[in-house]
Homo-oligomer: A and B are copies of this chain.
Amino acid sequence: MSKYVIGVDGGGTHTKSILVRDDGQVLGTIASGAANFQQLGVEGVKKVCQDILTEMGKKFYLSATQIACWGVGLAGAGREHDRRIVVETIEALGFAGRVIVQSDAYVALIGAFLGKPGIVLICGTGSMSIGMNQKGEIARTGGWGYLLGDEGSGYDIGRRALVAALKDFDQRGSRTRLRSKLERYFGIATIDQIIPKIYSKEIGKDQIAALAPIVFETASEGDLVAANIIDTVIVDMASLILSVAKKLGFHEETPLVVACSGSVFNQKDVLFPKLSAQVATVYPNVSISQPRFEPVVGAAIMALEKIGIQPTEDVLDNLSRFNK
């Protein structure tokens, strides 16, 4: 009888889960809401997992007892102590198999490099960088959230655009087309009307992060303020990568493999060459690409390995069919 695992990528705004057979075939996916452990706590995470299980049952006629392993990558679960709590929470759902919980960054790393050395830079609504060296040591940088960090994230880019537009309005900053574009985007007469919407949370973090493509578009039209935001962000992104490389003791002359994931890298045609050039000032042999697999697949691979199934090329081949 086939075994099944669930891979979960629980992020700050969305959670993606996949049901995978032991040969790597992906039976299906489930989308659900936020699964940040720091924000939702035990009860919130429990509910998310319960819902995934219910949905899996409905869609694929599988009960909890038929799942051999849950592999979970969870935002805000960077600490061993927190992960232990989540493991117990999932086990308490009447689940007979194994449970393995790691941070969402860790499963991104597994998805990208399958346990081989490399660095992943994730820039979605938030941002962070994580890497693994030859010895299997792991280091991470960033991930401090929207108030204290998340440099290079969609939120960071969107917030910088709003600040630039407001500074233009205030006659404190340079003129920028971002101002009129954002006014049009939000359907407001003047950009200062954004203020009550921001502080009443009518416009939340996600909506601010969703402004990033406007910044790229405006920069491509020759707007210097927008271009400057992107240049600043690239320096910050490079800094996230370089910090992890330094922590892992990567030698400056050896090849450095970096995978970039997250919604901001929808703009990879602009970002990859510039980011590559920036990192190359320290690591001339850097190569930047997309990760081989999404984080949710990394979570499933982690679960498969936990029950003794090696990710052979056949298994990976099956998984990669899902990816496309």
Q: Which A residues lie at the B interface, using CB under 8 A?
A: 38-39, 141-142, 144-145, 147-149, 159, 162-163, 166, 170-172, 192, 194-196, 198-200, 239-240, 242-243, 246-247
- Known contacts A38-B199, A166-B149, A246 near B144 by CB under 8 Å: no
B196 A38 Cβ-Cβ under 8 A: yes
- Known contacts A38-B196, A144-B195, A196-B38, A149 near B163 by CB under 8 Å: yes
Note all chain B residues with C-beta closer than 8 A to A162.
148
- Known contacts A144-B195, A148-B162, A149-B163, A170 near B200 by CB under 8 Å: no
Note all chain B residues with C-beta closer than 8 A to A159.
147-148
A148 B171 Cβ-Cβ under 8 A: no
CA distance A172 to B196 in the complex (A): 35
A198 B166 Cβ-Cβ under 8 A: no
CA distance A144 to B198 in the complex (A): 10
B170 A148 Cβ-Cβ under 8 A: no
Main secondary structure of the interface of A (DSSP, over half): helix
A243 B170 Cβ-Cβ under 8 A: yes
Note all chain B residues with C-beta closer than 8 A to A141.
170-172
Note all chain B residues with C-beta closer than 8 A to A240.
172
Note all chain B residues with C-beta closer than 8 A to A239.
172
Shortest distance in angstroms between A215's beta carbon and chain B's nearest beta carbon? 15
Note all chain B residues with C-beta closer than 8 A to A194.
148
> Which residue from chain B places its CB closest to the CB of A236 in the assembled complex?
B172
Note all chain B residues with C-beta closer than 8 A to A198.
145, 147-148
Note all chain B residues with C-beta closer than 8 A to A243.
170-172
CA distance A39 to B195 in the complex (A): 12
CA distance A159 to B148 in the complex (A): 7
7 extra interface residue pairs, beta carbon distance < 8 Å, beyond A144-B163, A172-B240: A38-B195, A145-B198, A148-B162, A148-B163, A148-B198, A172-B242, A172-B243
